[in-house]
């Protein structure tokens, strides 16, 4: 056994000891401790949890330029309710989701046990998501095997080692997140170093569970802090985290773009991400399956359904024209809290109907603006990658890339607005221009080219000498603009 796998085995023991300390789950801990991953995979096969239900296979089978596969978000506390919802939804969706609760996300397993107990005894919703670990391997397997479509775990956990352990052993074949995109938007004091360590373990597990031609699908999280993000930052972070995940040995990767600006801009952003993948990642990882997610708008939604549908319709169009592999839908009631089952079904049906009317359109129908925008983004992407000294090469080691990313965030050369984490400086800000495109309002310390900044600022109808206070308000008002109709 080499030093690397020894390190992982040690971590695995620690994680399973933690599982042992959740009183109702000690049985799972004993099961996982007693079996090798190969044996667990065999058990999964026997339970009918693999093959037809494999997430990566569903993504691979999608034909280029056909409609994006539809996926939703859905997470509730009790497994009976979760199972019922997924069963009701799977007719209208191509890919299923369990979204994990916030106690689990913060590794507060005992807090989660207590909340689940209250939820079970009062039959009132207490948890804001699905406590996957607490429902145990056997019950999760039963649910996964009962559903005829693959299920992804979506969460927001900076340290998801135990969650991944139980999720993969339960037959879930896709797992969202990464060391950057699930650390900076989802933690306050977790360092990138800690996040890399935790996620290296997740990738190791994912690779080990990728047997019998069924790789575990890993997806980066494009929406970041859920506010207005300069699109170039989304592209950069997707490429860099994607690179890190692929270097770790993963062979089914999904990168994403989130609806931010106009349809035309969002199409350009998707084209640039794909171009980056083809130019930088594909040559290094020719056997990896790389697919693309598009997220409906993740910011504040208007109260009126019509307004919400208008936003979703634009997002659906952008996903279709950008040839996204899958579209993660929102609902018309986002403003009012957690959507009901009917709301989600309605949203899937409306989105499907919208895709049907769009027919076979693609980005070749986009206006000249899209290609101008693509050109500007592409040039700036290459400019920044060059300044950052990022080399896409077989000789690049994982630790080299990690050190580089730590340095870039430390110095504010790479930055994300409005994140809770102290890892990034949060100086960069975006706002909407008069057409609705998202532009860099405040570059912070990101070394954008003067030419690009000038182009970004040209459309923004704001004076150059805004105070920091006014800039933050301006960015906030841009973020809230769609909420007001």
Partner 1 sequence: MNQVKVLLCVLGNDIHVVANRMLDLICRERGCVTVNLGALTPADEVIEAVADNRPDLLLVSTLNGQGYPEASRLMASIKENIQAAYRPAIWLGGNLFVGDYNDSEKQRYLDLGFDKVYSRPRNFNKFSSDLDDIINILTFTAETV
With CB under 8 A as the contact rule, which of the stretches 62-70, 221-229, 354-362, 400-408 interacts with partner 1? 221-229
For residue 33, give both structure tokens: 């401790």
Instruction: From residue 18, give the alpha-carbon distance in Å to each of 1, 163, 172.
Output: 24, 11, 21
What number of H helices and E strands is found in the chain? 18, 10
Q: How far is the CB of 150 from partner 1 (least distance, A)?
A: 27
How many residues are present in the chain?
Answer: 485
Cβ proximity of 248 and 398 under 8 Å: yes
Angle ∠(223,204,413) on CA atoms, nearest 5: 40
Helix-, strand-, coil-residue percentages of the chain, each rounded to 5? 55, 10, 35
Query: Taking CB under 8 A as the criterion, which residues in 49-88 touch partner 1?
Result: none
DSSP character at residue 278: I
Q: How far is the CB of 231 from partner 1 (least distance, A)?
A: 19
Q: How far is the CB of 142 from partner 1 (least distance, A)?
A: 25
- Total of residues contacting partner 1 (CB under 8 A): 34
Q: How far is the CB of 427 from partner 1 (least distance, A)?
A: 13
For residue 308, give both structure tokens: 């919400």
Cβ proximity of 118 and 100 under 8 Å: no
With CB under 8 A as the contact rule, which of the stretches 23-31, 160-168, 320-328, 330-338 interacts with partner 1? 330-338
With CB under 8 A as the contact rule, which of the stretches 88-96, 309-317, 414-422, 450-458 interacts with partner 1? 414-422
- The answer to whether 472 contacts partner 1 (rule: CB under 8 A) is yes
Toward partner 1, which CB reaches closer, 114 or 138?
A: 114
From the centroid of its chain, how far is CA 27?
Answer: 31
Where does residue 156 fall: left (phi above 0), alpha (psi -120 to 50 degrees), or beta otherwise? left
Rg (CA), the chain: 22
Report helix, strand or coil for 233.
Answer: helix
- The answer to whether 227 contacts partner 1 (rule: CB under 8 A) is yes
Distance between CA atoms of residues 481 and 468, nearest Å: 20
Question: Among candidates 439, 475, 476, which has minimal Cα distance to 456?
Answer: 439
Q: How far is the CB of 200 from partner 1 (least distance, A)?
A: 23
Toward partner 1, which CB reaches closer, 193 or 473?
A: 473
- The answer to whether 307 contacts partner 1 (rule: CB under 8 A) is no
Q: How far is the CB of 211 from partner 1 (least distance, A)?
A: 35
For residue 388, give both structure tokens: 């950052």
Angle ∠(179,389,245) on CA atoms, nearest 5: 25
- The answer to whether 48 contacts partner 1 (rule: CB under 8 A) is no
- The answer to whether 479 contacts partner 1 (rule: CB under 8 A) is yes
- The answer to whether 462 contacts partner 1 (rule: CB under 8 A) is no
Query: Taking CB under 8 A as the criterion, which residues in 144-183 touch partner 1?
Result: 156
Q: How far is the CB of 483 from partner 1 (least distance, A)?
A: 8
With CB under 8 A as the contact rule, which of the stretches 42-50, 285-293, 304-312, 418-426 interacts with partner 1? 418-426
Question: Among candidates 291, 281, 293, which has minimal Cα distance to 241?
Answer: 281
- The answer to whether 337 contacts partner 1 (rule: CB under 8 A) is yes
Near partner 1 by CB under 8 A: residue from 186, 199, 244, 452? 186
Site track for partner 1 across 100-139, x = CB under 8 A:
-xxx-xx-x--x--xx---------xxxx-----------
Phi, psi (degrees; rounded to nearest 5) at 428: -70, 140
- The answer to whether 476 contacts partner 1 (rule: CB under 8 A) is yes
- The answer to whether 188 contacts partner 1 (rule: CB under 8 A) is yes
Q: How far is the CB of 17 from partner 1 (least distance, A)?
A: 22
Report helix, strand or coil for 439.
Answer: strand
Toward partner 1, which CB reaches closer, 231 or 302?
A: 302
Phi, psi (degrees; rounded to nearest 5) at 113: -55, -45
Q: How far is the CB of 363 from partner 1 (least distance, A)?
A: 32
DSSP character at residue 19: H
Beta strands in 108-265 (DSSP E): 151-154, 174-176, 217-219, 252-258
Q: How far is the CB of 376 from partner 1 (least distance, A)?
A: 28
Near partner 1 by CB under 8 A: residue from 56, 187, 291, 331? 187
Q: How far is the CB of 327 from partner 1 (least distance, A)?
A: 24
Q: Which residues bind partner 1 (CB under 8 A)?
A: 101-103, 105-106, 108, 111, 114-115, 125-128, 156, 185-189, 225-227, 336-338, 418-420, 469, 472-473, 476, 479-480
């Amino acid at each position: 056994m080499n030093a690397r796998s020894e390190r992982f085995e040690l971590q695995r023991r620690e994680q399973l000891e933690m599982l042992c300390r959740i009183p109702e789950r000690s049985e799972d801990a004993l099961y996982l401790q007693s079996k090798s991953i190969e044996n667990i995979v065999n058990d999964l096969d026997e339970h009918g949890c693999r093959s037809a239900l494999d997430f990566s296979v569903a993504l691979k089978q999608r034909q280029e330029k056909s409609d994006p596969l539809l996926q939703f978000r859905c997470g509730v506390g009790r497994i009976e309710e979760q199972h019922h919802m997924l069963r009701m939804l799977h007719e209208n969706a191509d890919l299923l989701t369990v979204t994990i609760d916030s106690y689990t996300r913060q590794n507060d397993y005992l807090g989660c046990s207590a909340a689940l107990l209250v939820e079970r005894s009062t039959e009132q919703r207490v948890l804001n998501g699905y406590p996957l670990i607490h429902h145990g391997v056997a019950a999760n397997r039963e649910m996964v095997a009962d559903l005829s479509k693959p299920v992804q775990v979506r969460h927001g956990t900076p340290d998801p080692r135990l969650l991944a352990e139980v999720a993969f052993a339960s037959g879930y074949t896709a797992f969202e997140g990464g060391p950057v995109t699930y650390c900076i938007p989802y933690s306050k004091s977790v360092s990138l170093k800690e996040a890399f360590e935790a996620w290296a373990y997740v990738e190791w597990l994912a690779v080990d569970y990728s047997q019998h031609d069924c790789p575990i699908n890993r997806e980066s999280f494009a929406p970041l802090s859920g506010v207005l993000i300069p699109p170039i930052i989304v592209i950069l972070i997707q490429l860099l985290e994607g690179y890190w995940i692929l270097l770790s040995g993963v062979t089914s990767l999904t990168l994403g773009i989130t609806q931010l600006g106009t349809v035309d801009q969002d199409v350009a952003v998707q084209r640039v991400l794909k171009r980056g993948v083809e130019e930088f990642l594909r040559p290094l990882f020719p056997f990896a399956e790389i697919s693309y997610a598009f997220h409906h708008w993740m910011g504040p939604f208007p109260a009126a359904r019509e307004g919400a549908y208008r936003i979703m319709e634009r997002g659906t169009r952008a996903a279709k024209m950008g040839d996204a592999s899958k579209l993660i839908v929102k609902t018309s009631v986002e403003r009012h809290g957690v959507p009901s089952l009917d709301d989600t079904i309605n949203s899937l049906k409306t989105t499907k109907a919208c895709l049907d009317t769009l027919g076979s359109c693609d980005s070749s129908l986009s206006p000249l603006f899209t290609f101008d925008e693509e050109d500007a983004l592409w040039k700036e992407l290459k400019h920044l990658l060059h300044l950052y000294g990022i080399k896409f090469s077989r000789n690049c080691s994982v630790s080299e890339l990690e050190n580089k990313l730590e340095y870039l965030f430390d110095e504010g050369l790479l930055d994300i607005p409005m994140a809770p984490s102290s890892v990034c400086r949060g100086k960069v800000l975006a706002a909407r221009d008069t057409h609705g495109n998202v532009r860099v309002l405040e570059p912070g310390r990101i070394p954008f080219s003067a030419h690009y900044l000038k182009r970004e600022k040209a459309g923004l109808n704001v004076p150059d000498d805004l105070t920091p206070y006014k800039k933050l308000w301006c960015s906030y008002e841009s973020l809230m603009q769609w909420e007001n109709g």
